[in-house]
Structure 1
Amino acid sequence: MNQQPLIEQVTQTMALGSKSFATAAKLFDPPTRRSTLMLYAWCRHCDDVIDGQTLGEGGTQHHIDDAQARMLHLQIETRRAYSGAHMDEPAFRAFQEVALIHELPQQLAFDHLEGFAMDAREEHYASFDDTLRYCYHVAGVVGLMMARVMGVRDEAVLDHACDLGLAFQLTNIARDIVEDAANGRCYLPQSWLDEAGLTAAQLTDPQHRAALATLAARLIREAEPYYASACSGLPGLPLRSAWAIATARGVYREIGVKVQHAGAQAWDTRQRTSKSEKLALLVRGAGMAITSRVARPQARPAGLWQRPR
């Protein structure tokens, strides 16, 4: 695989690692799509290094047992990428290209690495704000970097981009509650668990699925204002980028709808959208993108979690 051209490697990484976003990514203009793939490859690689996996699967080649040591490796290599040093690992060569071309602030990259550090530290989340802080580091900041790849510099539009990342991650948490719990991780707020009379250790127990469905539905509802905010950011994007983002928004939001409708059966199989559903959402996304050309900018809904500035 290492003999493949870099763009082929990162394209394969996207296709295998994120089927939900891969469809939308094809809608970007070629330069934006290339940078999107490069950025995704680095994000995926960092996630896998911390988890000791390859594209979410076991049997990785990352041999360092200590997650903190793996974290340090990622930080060192990210600094080297920004310095312009020669990068041996394909994911860091990819990141170096996108970071330097689009002048991604180093703080954003290290904010993203902090999300992986939170996993390495096995951090717990007392309140919903704590969960949102985690969502910012693993996904909201990716929205910020993606927006910059699309040429966005306006802080208000960047807020909307961050909100979409938060919405995506809240949906992911709802979809993956049981899988995460099986891996010893829980991103649900402890306050919510207390209200439901549950402990993190009980999340994999099928007899608690009804209570779990209630918590998942609550997450999906909490994601809605962030999805709404994302729509308000579409006018600030180039047309093809707006189409891609509107489509990705629709695909992820539909996964949340499926989790909510499935109730206690939501974790019997992994919730996903079919090819026909993706096609319909692609068409709908086109309509949203076109409409956004004449839409008046909308203020961000009040009361949403605010990213650090």
Structure 2
Amino acid sequence: MIAEGSKSFALASKLFDPLTRERVWMLYAWCRRCDDIADGQVLGGELGERSEPEGRVKAIRVLTKRALDGEPTADIAFDAFGQVASECGITMQMADDVIAGFELDAADWRPRTSADLARYCYHVAGAVGVMMARVMGVSPEDSAVLDRACDLGIAFQLANIARDMDEDDRGGRCYVPQEWLAEEDIEPGQLMKPHHRWEAADMAERLVLRMEKHADAARMGAALLPFRSRWAVLAATNIYTEIGQEVRRRGTRAWDRRVVISKAKKLALTARAFVQAVRNKPRPPEEWPEWERQDILIDVRMTGPIAEPPPPRPLDDA
């Protein structure tokens, strides 16, 4: 599943020690399977049939609860999740934080503000980063390292959003905050139209700049991990930030073809990560991310994961 669903992360995951590697693969399998169920995909391919999205999310939650209770699910990915959860102390609350991201998509939700985008990135990736940290042996009391693991997940998701803006648009989705679109005077549903290609490039750059801040923060947390976990995390960070930076370098041509990182480049970035892991002296970020895990969690716990979707911005009479 990981070899087909995420070639970049599959390479980085091989750097873990054997036990951690297997647990990471088992956790990834659950994430990938949930995503496929929610979107009617096969290993993260094109969006498929998405009828009854609420029922799909309910099925994910029921199967996850059964797995965490140690009951058979008839789905190997969920059974694997139940095993790794019992071994690493992953709770239903942690799983619910991820499932909430699928609920947002099922509700056809769109971010209105930067804070909304932060919450979405937390649910679909930051919360996964927290679970991955638990798999690597990080204590639930070590909130500083868990915060940095969340930063890494958010960085990955921001890179994905920038790269996949055109693909998401074809699937009827847009994860660029509506207030950003309004600032650029982009009409609803028009972001990826040819006459807005320069504005789309601006949106991607804003996403990538935020990605870089979260990635720099994540490197600070990686310094506290065991060597092989540190190497794997730094390799994944280097590869995903390269994806975002390549989107920025291409500018208006970023979506002419999907941005992928060659195997040779991935190996070079992995070698760089080895040097970084050995030295283990990351530079503190020049500017820390404005989104902190604790702030996002407070917002989520107080108001719930789904905000009322904003009304579409009316078009000018002209």
**Shorter-chain TM-score above 0.5:** yes
Aligned residue in 2 for 1:10: none
Structure 1 residue 84, shift from structure 2 partner: 0.7
Structure 2: how far apart are the matches of 1:300 and 1:114? 32
Structure 2: how far apart are the matches of 1:252 and 1:18? 11
Structure 1 residue 301, shift from structure 2 partner: 5.6
For 1:81, give the aligned amino acid: A
Structure 2: how far apart are the matches of 1:59 and 1:213? 24
Aligned residue in 1 for 2:24: 36
Deviation string, structure 1 residues 139-191 (Cα, Å, up to 9, x no partner): 00111000110001111011111001111101110000111011011110101
Give the 3 Å change call, closer, same or farther, for CA 223–201 of structure 1 in structure 2: same
Correspondence 1:144 to 2:144: no
Deviation string, structure 1 residues 29-66 (Cα, Å, up to 9, x no partner): 11111011111111011111111111123597xx8830
Structure 1 residue 288, shift from structure 2 partner: 1.1
SS in 2 for 1:98: helix
Structure 2: how far apart are the matches of 1:247 and 1:53? 27
Aligned residue in 2 for 1:15: 3
Aligned residue in 2 for 1:206: 194
Correspondence 1:134 to 2:120: yes
Aligned residue in 2 for 1:187: 175
Correspondence 1:102 to 2:84: no
For 2:67, give the aligned amino acid: A
Deviation string, structure 1 residues 244-295 (Cα, Å, up to 9, x no partner): 0000000000011100000010001110110110011010000111112xx4
Structure 1: how far apart are the matches of 2:41 and 2:74? 19
Give the 3 Å change call, closer, same or farther, for CA 169–195 of structure 1 in structure 2: same
TM-score by length of 2: 0.88
Identity of aligned residues (%): 46
Structure 2: how far apart are the matches of 1:51 and 1:183? 10
For 1:248, give the aligned amino acid: A
For 1:226-241, what aligned pairs fall within 5 Å after superposition? Answer: 226-241=214-229
**Structure 2 runs not aligned, ≥5 long:** 299-318
**Structure 1 runs not aligned, ≥5 long:** 1-12
Correspondence 1:74 to 2:85: no
Structure 2: how far apart are the matches of 1:25 and 1:257? 22
For 1:255-270, what aligned pairs fall within 5 Å after superposition? Answer: 255-270=243-258
Matched-pair contact (CA < 8 Å) for 2:216–2:285: no
Which of the numbers 136, 152, 174 marks the counterpart of 2:162? Answer: 174
Give the 3 Å change call, closer, same or farther, for CA 200–33 of structure 1 in structure 2: farther
Correspondence 1:279 to 2:267: yes
SS in 2 for 1:236: coil
Structure 1 residue 207, shift from structure 2 partner: 2.6
Number of matched pairs: 293
Structure 1 residue 225, shift from structure 2 partner: 1.2
Structure 1 residue 206, shift from structure 2 partner: 2.3
Matched-pair contact (CA < 8 Å) for 1:67–1:120: yes
Matched-pair contact (CA < 8 Å) for 1:229–1:300: no
SS in 1 for 2:223: helix
Matched-pair contact (CA < 8 Å) for 2:162–2:207: yes
SS in 2 for 1:268: coil
For 2:150, give the aligned amino acid: C
Structure 1 residue 296, shift from structure 2 partner: 8.2
Matched-pair contact (CA < 8 Å) for 1:42–1:95: yes
Deviation string, structure 1 residues 118-146 (Cα, Å, up to 9, x no partner): 00001111101100100000000111000
